Structure 1
Amino acid sequence: MTTWITICDTCKREDWDAASGDLTDGEVLAELIENRADGDVKTRRVSCLMGCTRSCNVAIQGAGKLNYTLGEFTPNDTSADAIVEYARLHAESETGQVPYRQWPQGVKGHFITRHPPLPDDE
């Protein structure tokens, strides 16, 4: 089943310099994640996940599964690798819950929220 990584592309860490004209930290992380995601892991960008004090933020989401918000990432290869690997494990999980012992090291300590799946309309 498909897992989506929703990436905040407006995230800026405290040390981001607006005068530099460079990409936001969220845009850098988004590009790194997009270059790694494939198969059952898809990506989309949004402008603001409202976690500004914990940027860079992503949401790991799948229909009928537990969904997670993660943040406080450094926009680099290590973070992108860990986020995509966790999303692959989420995609493989029937419920969206991934046992802690399977978590990539790079996502440990980055979980902000967990959301239960939406109830069926019936």
Structure 2
Amino acid sequence: MSELPQPPVADAVITELVVCTTCRPEGDSREAPAAGATLFEAVQHAQFDLPAEALRRVRVRGQACMSACGRACTLALQAPGKPSYLFGDLQPDAATARDALRCAAMHAEAADGQLLRNQRPERLRNGILAKLPPHGAQATG
């Protein structure tokens, strides 16, 4: 008798940290690199500054235009079965990059994906643009 396939374990769920690579705050020169591209590069570099174990369930990717142009720079956190978060008005620097990775790791580690404001890293305590329920979640109240 063969065993039935088992559903994936929660440990296999990966949180994606998606950074808008085309974000450009209003008034920024089109001749200079986009602030979003600068933030994406900072996030990529910051991955080497944090312990690999903390980021074992985080994947980083860039995305051209996340349609939050009036709130540049933006990034999102998403994972199957968890709420998705969209943050804006972020600084494209190393401190934001480290906090974004720490927040993504928190999202990955939280079974329900909830990110309480006072527990998020400092640079992601403000600037939340949206919190979307998990795909297919039952409506409440």
Taking structure 1 as the reference length, the TM-score comes to 0.89
Amino acid paired to 1:28: T
1:32 and 2:42 matched = yes
* Matched residues, number: 118
Q: Indicate which of 44, 59, 66 corresponds to 2:76.
A: 59
Identity %: 27
Please give the residue correspondences for 1:1-12 in structure 2 after superposition, counting only pairs within 5 Å: 1-12=13-24
Query: Over residues 3-58 of structure 1, what are the superposed CA-to-partner deviations in whole Å (9 max), with x where a residue is unaligned?
Result: 10111101001242123xx3210100001112234421111111111000000011
2:126 maps to 109
Stretches of 4+ moved more than 3 A in 1? Answer: none
Match of 1:112, SS?
A: strand
Runs (5+) with no aligned partner, structure 2: 1-12, 48-54
Q: Indicate which of 81, 89, 92 corresponds to 2:106.
A: 89
Structure 1 residue 65: Cα displacement: 0.3
Structure 1 residue 119: Cα displacement: 1.3
- How large is the Cα RMSD of the aligned pairs? 1.4
Taking structure 2 as the reference length, the TM-score comes to 0.78
Q: Distance in 2 between matches of 1:15 and 1:39?
A: 38
Moved more, 99-108 or 84-93: 99-108
